[in-house]
Amino acid sequence: MTRQYDVIVAGGGPAGSAAATLLARAGASVLLLEAATLPHDKLCGEFLSPETVGVFQRLGVWPAIDALAPPRLTAARITARDGARWDAPFPAPGIGLSRYALDKLLFDHAGQVGADARQAARVTGVVGSLAEGFGVTWQAGNRAHAAEARVVLGAWGKRANLDRTLGRTFLSLDHPTFALKAHYHGPPIGRRVELHGFDGGYCGLAEIEGGRINLCLLAETRVLHACGGDPARLAAEVLPTNPALAAWLAHAARIHDRFLAISQIPFVRKAVVENDVLMLGDAAGLISPLAGNGMAMGLAAAEMVAPLVLDTLAGRRAAASLKATFSRQWHAHFDRRLRLGRLAQPLMLRPTMLGLGLRALRLVPPLGAALVANTRDSYVTSET
């Protein structure tokens, strides 16, 4: 007989694991399906913005995260190729933590509070509706599985096989960007997140647990093509065109054998509800990494959707209201920062504009403060 759940969550990244935790803890039967085997390295800047600390406390995972001694990061520094520089303090500290540690910790926690959390389980299909219920299929090893649920949450990240299955339109667009990441041993950069611009891209540095430094860059695809598609050549030839980055790289050594790489990154509007599946995190919309806020948004969306889903399961909210309310809340909460990210990102890619922009931010401090404030939530806690 096909097993029935209240909720199936497709994707066990920060958004999916957080949603599964909140729903399971409130008594819902939840199946959490994650395609990867954890722990695993994931391409990300690995900076968790200040408001995530409060979410981790509410999820009950903060003691486990704190035990890993992630560095507290209290400010951002942005530099341009011409030497211009802007420093912005955060209103409360964020943290630097590897996705290798974070994703496993959040996924395991969902299992500990009662979700049926399965890894190496790739969802292959979702059919049905909120009115009729859903059928979900997944592949684990070479076995196919199926289950049913009243609600399905889509938390499979920025781009996945399921986007094609659901016929999502953003897949037909070209997204000429790529990203690279590797961990380094290098000169300490203090309690800062740094972003260094170069022609066609920018490169972030953030310390993570264990004193390592995560280097993660985003650039236009042409930059990689100009280096013959070789990330190591790009790191050796393009990154040192920014003097601050050149000075750091001169004394840094890569820990990972090779760079993690992704391409075709979709910074475009997506539907928040698709075929009655409620989307969370990057599956709903991906903010420019410049804001360092993607994980916080995924966690916030999980906190937004959980009470609405619980109301629906308890018969207090109709399916139409679940979809409409979630969609309205999501847009009200995130649209402004997504727009700002889309506006600011092109500036980061043009050295002359970046230099001018950073000088303007130094001259008019309220402008910078507004930029920091409008790309994130306010801070519910600062007990770090």
Ligand X SMILES: Cc1cc2nc3c(=O)[nH]c(=O)nc-3n(C[C@H](O)[C@H](O)[C@H](O)COP(=O)(O)OP(=O)(O)OC[C@H]3O[C@@H](n4cnc5c(N)ncnc54)[C@H](O)[C@@H]3O)c2cc1C
**What residue ranges bind ligand X (CB under 6 A)?**
10-16, 33-36, 44-48, 122-123, 155-157, 160-162, 179, 216, 218, 265, 281-283, 289, 292-296, 298
Rank residues 6 and 194 by Cβ distance to ligand X and give the closer one: 194
Residue by residue, DSSP assigns 305-345 as: HHHHHHHHHTTSS-HHHHHHHHHHHHHHHHHHHHHHHHHHH
Closest alpha carbon to 170 in 337, 322, 256, 285:
285
Rank residues 80 and 203 by Cβ distance to ligand X and give the closer one: 203
In the chain, the N- to C-terminal Cα span, in Å, equals 48
Distance between CA atoms of 308 and 318, rounded to whole angstroms?
10
Rank residues 84 and 166 by Cβ distance to ligand X and give the closer one: 166
Rank residues 20 and 249 by Cβ distance to ligand X and give the closer one: 20
Work out how close the CB of 316 gets to ligand X at its nearest, in angstroms, rounded to a whole number: 27
Tokens 């802007």 identify what position?
Answer: 86
104: DSSP letter: H
Please tell me the total number of residues recorded for the chain in this structure. Answer: 384
**Any idea what the Cα angle at residue 158 is, between residues 112 and 150, rounded to 5°?**
50
Work out how close the CB of 46 gets to ligand X at its nearest, in angstroms, rounded to a whole number: 6
Work out how close the CB of 159 gets to ligand X at its nearest, in angstroms, rounded to a whole number: 9
Distance between CA atoms of 307 and 331, rounded to whole angstroms?
17
Contact assessment for residue 196 and residue 205, using Cβ atoms and an 8 Å cutoff: yes
Closest alpha carbon to 256 in 229, 231, 223, 225:
231
Work out how close the CB of 150 gets to ligand X at its nearest, in angstroms, rounded to a whole number: 19
Rank residues 156 and 326 by Cβ distance to ligand X and give the closer one: 156
Distance between CA atoms of 367 and 229, rounded to whole angstroms?
38
Work out how close the CB of 359 gets to ligand X at its nearest, in angstroms, rounded to a whole number: 25
Rank residues 6 and 51 by Cβ distance to ligand X and give the closer one: 51
Work out how close the CB of 264 gets to ligand X at its nearest, in angstroms, rounded to a whole number: 11
Closest alpha carbon to 5 in 36, 35, 27:
27
Rank residues 145 and 359 by Cβ distance to ligand X and give the closer one: 145
Work out how close the CB of 250 gets to ligand X at its nearest, in angstroms, rounded to a whole number: 24
Strands 72-79 and 192-198 turn out to be parallel
Work out how close the CB of 328 gets to ligand X at its nearest, in angstroms, rounded to a whole number: 20
* Helices assigned H by DSSP within the chain: 14-25, 51-59, 62-67, 99-112, 161-165, 221-226, 231-237, 243-249, 294-313, 319-349, 351-363, 365-374
Rank residues 156 and 248 by Cβ distance to ligand X and give the closer one: 156
